[in-house]
Copies of this chain bind each other. A is one copy, B any other.
């Protein structure tokens, strides 16, 4: 079974597709999708959604897991990211995926980190949890892998 994990954003969107078999999970695909800051917000929102739709059609994951960040110091940014969250959930449901959300504390706890684990420690824990052959370039990709792994750990069939 495949899970698509997403760290929502309209500037950078972390995306990871993991496969859950009988043994350890494997990373099928990951990317950090970026949109051009010169584009209007509506256009960036659309591009993000279109990319996710494309990847779901290509990889056919059955479940979608999002990192849900409710608070941001900048209210406008928080609302703009919340709109991305809506787009992702809608696309997931439209394409018949089951949809789930996890908060940052749930993710930290599932990945095995204490509240004090920094980005580097988390990346290293992720490498212990999952087979990763490709090179991961950005934190957003690690965040997406982390939410997919969290879902896999919490939502056992």
Count class of interface residues, chain A: 20 to 34
Residue in chain B with minimal CB distance to A69: B79
Decide yes or no whether A154 CB sits under 8 A from chain B.
Answer: no
Whether B76 pairs with A83 at a CB distance below 8 angstroms is: no
A75-92 interface bits toward B, Cβ cutoff 8 Å, 1 = contact, 0 = none: 110111011111101110
Report which A residues bind B (CB closer than 8 A): 42-43, 45-46, 49-50, 70-71, 75-76, 78-80, 82-87, 89-91, 93-94, 99
The residue of chain B having its C-beta at the shortest distance from the C-beta of A43 within the complex is B93
> In the complex this chain forms, how many copies of it are found?
2
Of the residues B46, B49, B86, contact of A84 by C-beta under 8 Å: B86
B85 touches A46 (CB 8 A): no
Interface centre among A46, A50, A70, A90 (most CB of B within 10 A): A90
From B42, B84, B85, B91, give the contact of A93 (CB < 8 A): B42
